[in-house]
Structure 1
Amino acid sequence: MLKLVTQAFDLVEKLRQSSTVAEVETTFAGIAADSGACAFIICDIPPGCAPGAREIHSSGWHPDWERKYLERRYAEVDPVPNSVNSHNEPYFWRDLIVPTTRNAPAANVMQEARAEFRMHDGFCIPVHGLEGVAGLVSLATEDAAWSLSEQEQAAMHLVGLYAYEAVRRIKRPQSPAAIVRLSPREADCIRWLAEGKTAWEIGAILGVSEATVRTYLKAAARKLDTRSQAHLVARAHRLGLIH
């Protein structure tokens, strides 16, 4: 899985250049397989919506599982997507211990995924906006002992966010009236952030204080409706605000 770490930025660029959902799915399916996953899903969770009110944007699930999942409204009880709101960082499915005595429907969904489709564990990447949960990218694996190093988790987090933004860009292109405008300083700060620079380093480069850089980044995050720096960079790339 070292490939995921060493090629993360190449994969990000490939996702950014994708022009169809099928291209995104092919790229991300390869990433998932290389990391030991057997399936994935990319979906929205609109702010304020009920648990089942989700839109699947891209799916690499087994068709029979997807059909059953939708027909039986499993999204209403599935602990994986319903835990997104309480997590800022990615998490493994195995971390969601659901005692059957307290939440039998949730436990049953996970047991059915394991027993019928060999989805023994997974890795969920939450996507947050300032106004609430925006969506998720979730991967499943047949390996009950699946593990990702901290570097691999960070790389998958980054690539997952870009896959989410790529699908959104293709399926929901922005109208000219909805285009976000960044100030030159905000755009500069995001560009340097994308290069891996800290707020202090960006301040030194631009000749401003670290606090000023953080102010610019917070302002940009509000405009782009993002909460994490990685998501801020991914969305800015998706909207063509930085190059």
Structure 2
Amino acid sequence: MLQGGYQSVLEARSRDEFRSEITRFAHDLDFERFSAILVVDHPIGGSDFISVQNAPAGFSDIFNDPRLGKKDPVMQHCKRQSVPIVWNQQTYVKNDAPELWEAQAPFGYKVGISLALHLPEGRHFVLGVNREQTLPSNPVTLTRMVADLQLFAVHAVDAAMRVLLPIGQETDAPRLTPRELQCLHWTMEGKTAWEVGTILSISERTAVLHINNAMHKLGCTNKHQAVLKALRMGLIR
């Protein structure tokens, strides 16, 4: 896929333009169906799901039940991991959910590729493409498809945050810098400030500064409390 194809989704200025770009991308990869979901977690519980898709009539009425998502192996994979999943009927059979595949297959959802990007501040972007015909048996061709989807998702997520979230919406979580989040992550892994500095190629003093800044933003009195609060808010995983 040409670089311009990825660039154009970045320039989407509305939900309709965003949808058109995903439609074009899916069709270029020979997929009939697609879904793009922006998930916003709330610290007090619950999540908002904002989706753009081209599901046929009747499909959403059946599959919008959140209880199905807890059983769907593709959604469960995306919830827990960032690596893409290439799925087919056997994926559902192996995970004791063959009835879900049998219900969605008549709508054109027989095989597909899905992935999730897990972002700071409890936000997630899930992108999937689906079709009826089998996926390429050539591993090189299939790998190229997966790589195209990953690269497109990296570009599309910025547009999704811009055109799908309501204007002026503020996140419930404080805004921590990437370095502050990295320092909290390694603190969660049991690293000392000196070890965090070594891992991130910064001084121990700078690591302590980032941790202290994160503690202040989170309203915590020590780094362990800050790690727990960041975990609860979905800032780190």
**Which range, TM-score by smaller chain?**
0.5 to 0.7
Q: String of CA shifts for 1:31-89, please: whole Å, max 9, x gaps.
A: 1011011111111344589xx95613211222321222125853232221111133221
- Contact persistence 1:46–1:135 (CA under 8 A): no
TM-score (norm 1): 0.60
> Does the aligned pair in 1 maintain the 2:38–2:126 contact within 8 Å?
yes
Runs of 4+ aligned structure 1 residues displaced above 6 Å come to 176-183
Paired residue for 1:167?
160
Question: Based on CA coordinates, which of the two structures has the bigger radius of gyration?
Answer: 2
Q: Is the 8 A contact 2:59 2:107 kept in 1?
A: yes
Aligned residues of 2:115 and 2:128 also touching (Cα < 8 A) = yes
Q: Does 1:94 align with 2:85?
A: no
CA distance in 1, matches of 2:80, 2:176: 31
Letter in 1 for 2:164: K
For the pair 1:126 / 2:119, whether they are aligned, the reply is no
Q: Do the aligned residues in 2 keep the contact of 1:79 with 1:96 (CA within 8 Å)?
A: no
Distance apart, 1:94 and its partner CA: 2.9
Q: For the Cα contact (< 8 Å) 1:58–1:167, is it kept in 2?
A: no
RMSD between superposed Cα atoms in Å: 4.0
Aligned residues: 184
Q: 1:143-170 CA deviation, whole Å, 9 max, x = no partner?
A: 1234643333222211123223312211
Q: Distance in 1 between matches of 2:155 and 2:235?
A: 13
Q: Does 2:128 correspond to 1:138? A: yes
Residues 121, 48 of structure 1: alpha-carbon distance in 2 compared, 3 angstrom cutoff: farther
> Which residue of structure 2 aligns with residue 22 of structure 1?
16
**Displacement, 1:14?**
0.9
Please give the alpha-carbon distance, in whole angstroms, between the structure 2 residues aligned to 1:109 and 1:135: 23
TM-score by length of 2: 0.61
Amino acid at match of 1:163: A
Q: What does residue range 34-49 of structure 1 map to in structure 2 within 5 Å?
A: 34-47=28-41
Equivalent residue, structure 1, for 2:55:
61
Sort the Cα spacing of 1:47 and 1:53 in 2 relative to 1 into closer, same or farther, 3 A.
Answer: closer
Distance in 2 (alpha carbons) for counterparts of 1:134 and 1:98: 23
Structure 1 position 108 matched with structure 2 position 113: no
- In 2: Cα distance, 1:47 partner to 1:180 partner: 15
Inter-partner Cα distance in structure 2 for 1:175 and 1:59: 24
Residues 84 and 113 of structure 2 are in contact (CA less than 8 Å); yes or no, is this contact kept in structure 1? yes
- Aligned amino acid, residue 57 of structure 1: S
Distance 2:70 2:58 in 1: 18
In the alignment, does 2:148 pair up with 1:155?
yes
Percent of aligned positions that are identical = 15
Work out whether residues 35 and 52 of structure 2, in 8 Å CA contact, stay in contact via their aligned partners in 1. Answer: yes
- Distance in 2, matches of 1:77 and 1:54, equals 19
| Structure 1 residues not aligned, in runs of 5+ | 187-209, 228-243
Contact 1:120/1:140 (CA < 8 Å) preserved in 2?
yes
Change in CA separation of 1:77 and 1:46 when aligned onto 2, cut-off 3 Å: farther
**Corresponding position of 1:197:** none
What whole-Å deviation, never above 9, does each CA across 1:114-160 have from its counterpart, x for those lacking one?
2x113210000211135667231111111123464333322221112
Summarize the Cα distance change of 1:57–1:176 in structure 2 as closer, same or farther, 3 Å threshold.
Answer: closer
